[in-house]
Amino acid sequence: MKVFSVAQMVAAEKAADAAGVSYAQMMESAGLAVAEAIIARYPIAGARVLVLVGPGNNGGDGLVCGRYLAQAGADVAFYLSKPRDPAIDANYAQIQQMGLFAVHTEFDQRFRVLRTRLSVSGLVVDALLGTGVTRPILGELAKLMRQFAAGVEERRTALREQSRPRLVSLGANAEGRPVVGQRRRGEVWLPVVAVDCPSGLNCDTGELDVLAIPADLTVTFAGPKRGHFMFPGAAACGELVVADIGIPADLPPVPAVNVEVTTAVHAHSLLPPRPKDGHKGTFGKVLIAAGCDRYRGASVLAAKGAFRAGAGLVALATPEVVRQTAVVALPEATYPLITAEQVLSAPDAAQLLPTLPQYDALLVGPGLGETGVGGTAVGQTAVGQTAVEFLSALLAAPYLPPLVVDADGLNGLAQLPDWPRLLPTNSVLTPHPAEMARLMGIPLADLLARDRVEVAREQAQAWGQIVLLKGAYTVVAAPDGRATILPFANPVLAVGGSGDVLGGVIVALLGQGVRPYAAAILGGYLHGAAAALYPGDTGLLAGELADLIPQAIQQLKTNT
């Protein structure tokens, strides 16, 4: 699914209009889609709904949405920030013909009507500003949004008080039965539904106006916008739903958009085949070079991720101090004979080189070497010299299978001169922001101030490698300029070892024949989807995350 900038979306709509899909048709489709999304999530029959209507097309979408909600049995009122003329505005004329209540702010002294209506509403539709916000909200609109925010908070407080139980049990309900008067998990007091984007969100940069209206549900059209995935704005979108409004996918402005977001359907299409007559060799033999005396679990977590993602054979090249416990935790793996006791070194790489053609993919880096401070011009974390020598010797091999470099492998690369030339083209690099800053040789603060999609795209092109830049939201970029956003922002993934599992998943997919860019996208998607299966946003262990990968795969196969 394409991810549009505001200019790209304007161009696509203009092209669609020229091709015969009129703006009026697109507005009708958009408003209907918002209504359908609301009806699917909230009880509407008899509900009181307030629609905030802005002056542009976003307001028109809101008028259409409100009309369909009224037809579904809701008591709908419209609050207009600017007057509309029914003689030239067919959507406004229709709500008048239906006898629906509408008022604009010029006739509402001190916002009394707005506050009164909010005080009895059960749902609000925000159709004020749409995607056009690029500067601070001022003047009368600012006054309106302040009153709206105050009214929403007042209404939510009243609803909470009304639902406060008189009797509170201090004991756990072991059987999980709901207690009368207690709020159901996931219930939202006075949900706010944004049309296209929350009012006050800059849909290109993710900047959020101080008066912005956070949404519980955002329904956007044709494709998400860049700002939907950029913080702080992304946090104000709530659930993000994309609606088809009839813009043909083959119109020139649409294929020209080179940023996408992965959907479940797309991820399913990338899954490698699992033939019934396959054997362990069919599903790939992968080598993981990882671990040291300080980071003894990293290699095991990576290997577990690889097995759970379908690898047939996993070999762990790890020091003796790690191997002693790894064989107990993961007897399914094999363990190449190397002499390292605590940290992999250049002689260990020499022992591995003759065996590399036996493997279908290689992961190097998780827990590779004890870190210290120094080694770069900006004083960032460095990998010990012994591990760097191992990495350098391994990369000098006459043949390398498809390669994933993660964690300390990336920190080691940052210490090698002209490191991109040491890697096979289209190797997969999986940095988190600090590792990305080291690879680029810039302070982390400078990196964080930039657009992460553009950073990933630029560096993938400059280095000739696949870059998976971790974070909320993870971005995968290719040397040809393509970039794919993964639709997950989940704090449960913020736990040690999570990245090791991801590296293992990706190397397993490479070993099963998935191309590098697709392997990075699918691996990142499965990683995020597995975390989403966990019931909560805290407490997930990396080993448990690996164990959820097969369930995430099966869910893709079952539901798409």
Angle between helix 320-329 and helix 298-308 axes, rounded to 10 deg: 40
- Write the CB contacts of 490 (distance below 8 Å, at least 6 apart in sequence): 472, 528, 531, 532, 537
Q: Name the E strands within 81-226.
A: 101-104, 123-127, 192-195, 217-221
Provide the 3-class DSSP secondary structure of residue 490. coil
Q: Of 257, 283, 305, which residue constitutes the final position of a domain?
A: 257
Residue 154 lies in a domain: yes
- pLDDT of residue 109 exceeding 90, the answer is no
Average pLDDT over all residues of the chain: 92
Q: Which of 330, 328, 291, 290 is nearest to 308 (CA)?
A: 330
Question: Residue 229 has what pLDDT?
Answer: 97
Summarize the confidence of residues 537-548 as an average pLDDT. 96
Provide the 3-class DSSP secondary structure of residue 65. helix
Burial per residue of 419-454, b for 16 or more beta-carbon CB atoms within 10 angstroms, e otherwise: bbebbbebbbbbbbeebbbbbbebebeebeeeebbe
How many Å apart are CA 243 and CA 508, to the nearest integer? 34
Categorize the per-residue pLDDT at 132 as very low, low, confident or very high, splitting at 50, 70 and 90: confident
How many Å apart are CA 23 and CA 14, to the nearest integer? 8
More confident residue, 176 or 503: 503
Burial bucket for residue 10 (CB in 10 Å: 0-12, 13-18, 19+): middle
Alpha helices in 421-494 (DSSP H): 433-440, 444-448, 452-463
Angle between helix 498-511 and helix 298-308 axes, rounded to 10 deg: 40
Question: Residue 171 has what pLDDT?
Answer: 72
- pLDDT of residue 378 exceeding 70, the answer is no
How many Å apart are CA 399 and CA 259, to the nearest integer? 33
Residue 138 and residue 241 in one domain: yes
Q: Which residues pair with 79 in a beta bridge?
A: 52, 103
Residue 19 and residue 75 in one domain: yes
Summarize the confidence of residues 497-507 as an average pLDDT. 98
Question: Residue 163 has what pLDDT?
Answer: 81
Residue 233 lies in a domain: yes
Question: Residue 380 has what pLDDT?
Answer: 44
CATH code of the domain covering residue 197: 3.40.50.10260
Categorize the per-residue pLDDT at 131 as very low, low, confident or very high, splitting at 50, 70 and 90: confident
DSSP-derived letter for residue 135 is: S
Percent of the chain past pLDDT 70, that is, above it, reads 95
Question: Residue 167 has what pLDDT?
Answer: 81
Categorize the per-residue pLDDT at 180 as very low, low, confident or very high, splitting at 50, 70 and 90: very low
CATH code of the domain covering residue 456: 3.40.1190.20
DSSP-derived letter for residue 225 is: B
Residue 67 and residue 216 in one domain: yes
Residue 454 and residue 552 in one domain: yes
Residue 514 and residue 452 in one domain: yes
- pLDDT of residue 182 exceeding 50, the answer is no
Residue 262 lies in a domain: no
Q: What is the largest CA-CA distance in the chain?
A: 85
Question: Residue 525 has what pLDDT?
Answer: 98
Residue 407 lies in a domain: yes
Q: Of 204, 222, 257, which residue constitutes the final position of a domain?
A: 257
Residue 208 and residue 307 in one domain: no
Residue 272 and residue 253 in one domain: no
- Write the CB contacts of 459 (distance below 8 Å, at least 6 apart in sequence): 436, 439, 440, 467, 477
Question: Residue 560 has what pLDDT?
Answer: 79
Residue 214 and residue 283 in one domain: no
Q: Are 361 and 425 in contact, with CB atoms under 8 Å apart?
A: no
Residue type at 74? A
Q: How many domains would you assign to the chain? A: 2
Residue 353 and residue 225 in one domain: no
Least confidently predicted of 229-243, 321-335, 370-384? 370-384
Q: Are 327 and 370 in contact, with CB atoms under 8 Å apart?
A: no
Summarize the confidence of residues 417-422 as an average pLDDT. 94
Q: Centre a 10 Å sphere on the Cβ of residue 357 and count the other Cβ atoms it contains.
A: 11
More confident residue, 382 or 227: 227
Categorize the per-residue pLDDT at 343 as very low, low, confident or very high, splitting at 50, 70 and 90: very high
Q: Which of 73, 71, 64 is nearest to 93 (CA)?
A: 64
What is the per-residue pLDDT across 194-203, written as a single tens digit (0 to 9) for each? 999 999 999 9
Supply the Cα-derived Rg of the chain in whole angstroms. Answer: 27
Q: Which of 290, 416, 282 is nearest to 352 (CA)?
A: 290
- pLDDT of residue 375 exceeding 80, the answer is no
Q: Are 520 and 507 in contact, with CB atoms under 8 Å apart?
A: no
Q: Centre a 10 Å sphere on the Cβ of residue 477 and count the other Cβ atoms it contains.
A: 30
Query: CA distances (Å), 90 to each of 95, 96, 149, 478, in order?
Result: 9, 10, 30, 46
DSSP-derived letter for residue 208 is: B
Burial per residue of 224-247, b for 16 or more beta-carbon CB atoms within 10 angstroms, e otherwise: bbbbbbbbebbebbbebbbbebbb
How many Å apart are CA 317 and CA 327, to the nearest integer? 12
Q: What are phi and psi of 418, to 5 degrees?
A: 50, 45
Residue 271 and residue 198 in one domain: no
Question: Residue 173 has what pLDDT?
Answer: 55
Least confidently predicted of 161-170, 449-458, 550-559? 161-170
Q: Of 233, 257, 281, which residue constitutes the final position of a domain?
A: 257
How many Å apart are CA 137 and CA 156, to the nearest integer? 24
Residue 182 lies in a domain: no
Residue 315 and residue 283 in one domain: yes
What is the per-residue pLDDT across 431-470, written as a single tens digit (0 to 9) for each? 999 999 999 999 999 999 999 999 999 999 999 999 999 9
Residue type at 128? L
Q: Which of 38, 44, 87, 88 is nearest to 62 (CA)?
A: 38
Burial bucket for residue 136 (CB in 10 Å: 0-12, 13-18, 19+): exposed
Percent of the chain past pLDDT 90, that is, above it, reads 87
Residue 168 lies in a domain: no
Residue 316 lies in a domain: yes
How many Å apart are CA 233 and CA 254, to the nearest integer? 24
- pLDDT of residue 357 exceeding 80, the answer is yes
Q: Are 530 and 551 in contact, with CB atoms under 8 Å apart?
A: yes
Categorize the per-residue pLDDT at 2 as very low, low, confident or very high, splitting at 50, 70 and 90: very high
Question: Residue 121 has what pLDDT?
Answer: 95
| Angle (nearest 5°) at CA 28 between 26 and 29 | 65
How many Å apart are CA 169 and CA 186, to the nearest integer? 20
Residue 274 lies in a domain: yes
How many Å apart are CA 22 and CA 459, to the nearest integer? 40
The range of the structural domain enclosing residue 490 comes to 267-559
Question: Residue 381 has what pLDDT?
Answer: 54
Tokens standing for 458? 């630029």
Least confidently predicted of 196-200, 284-288, 381-385, 467-471? 381-385
Residue 219 and residue 273 in one domain: no
Question: Residue 346 has what pLDDT?
Answer: 95
Summarize the confidence of residues 185-212 as an average pLDDT. 89
Residues comprising the chain, all counted:
560
